[in-house]
Amino acid sequence: MLTGSLVALVTPMHDDGTLDFASLERLIDWHLEEGSDAIGIVGTTGEASTVDLAEHCDLIGAAVRCCAGRAPVIAGTGANSTAEAIELARRARQLGADYSLTVVPYYNKPTQEGMYRHFRAIAEAVDMPHILYNVPGRTVAGMSNDTILRLADIPNIVGIKDASGDIPNGADLLRRAPADFAVYGADDPSALALMFLGAHGIFSVTANVAPRLMREMNQAALDGDVAYANAINRRLFPLHQQLFVESNPIPVKWALAQMGAIGQGIRLPLTTLSPAGQAAVRAAMEEAGIASATAAR
């Protein structure tokens, strides 16, 4: 079972919005050096909604080649069209991704039965490990625990990325889930609480700028070292909050640019971080002690 710190990686772009593969490779190398346990590519933080199909596949392929077996690659393959999600998962498998990450269909607001059939169709069509992704703040419709548990019975649906931030609901899921079904926290401010309840790791935005600390926090939680995990979380908590001061990934891409890890590129309809947002993120970086950190160049 995949455990630990799973970074929801940004997609570096040049100032004109074109993809910056050289920076992506440097960023992945840095994450692996810092201990990230897996690389999540072309997810929400990776601006999957603004890249076309060819770019989507190019990003997955680049991540697979760069990781070269050093860490698993989790490829974002979600879509609100079941046929498109199946095609993306097929491409990810062909390109060598280790897992697909498939979000609840957005905008069309499917029923719980519709969600079940959507994810079952993907799993039946593409023979690879699939991780569900529940983020009701973006998709509006969210999966119920009963639906998740139905899907957990499908052999190649192996876990869920839970970005709901609903700890009681997460506790119920962890209580009822099969032992071989992984639950990952994905709401940075509340994810450690879910770890203490038995979650298997964290899909993190904060890990983009603090990979080693997030790795240490996850490992401490898995080892039962509550005091050390809490100490790291307290240090990072302002980042957990301020990296969402504007729509993700606006703040985290600005922070990485300040660290010299990537350029300023971001695609419309997302915009660069506002001056007020910059002040908030800068203060959080300073409190975490990483404002002057330098990622791989």
Question: What residues are labeled active site?
Answer: 133, 161
Encoding tokens for residue 157? 């649906």
Are 255 and 281 in contact, with CB atoms under 8 Å apart? yes
Write the DSSP string, the chain: ---EEEEE----B-TTS-B-HHHHHHHHHHHHHHT-SEEEESSTTTTGGGS-HHHHHHHHHHHHHHHTTSS-EEEE---SSHHHHHHHHHHHHHHT-SEEEEEPPPSS---HHHHHHHHHHHHHHS-S-EEEEE-HHHHSS---HHHHHHHHTSTTEEEEEE-S--HHHHHHHHHHS-TT-EEEE--HHHHHHHHHTT--EEEESGGGT-HHHHHHHHHHHHHT-HHHHHHHHHHHHHHHHHTTSSSTTHHHHHHHHHTTSS-S---TTS-PPPHHHHHHHHHHHHHHT-TT-----
Phi, psi for residue 227 in degrees, rounded to 5: -60, -45
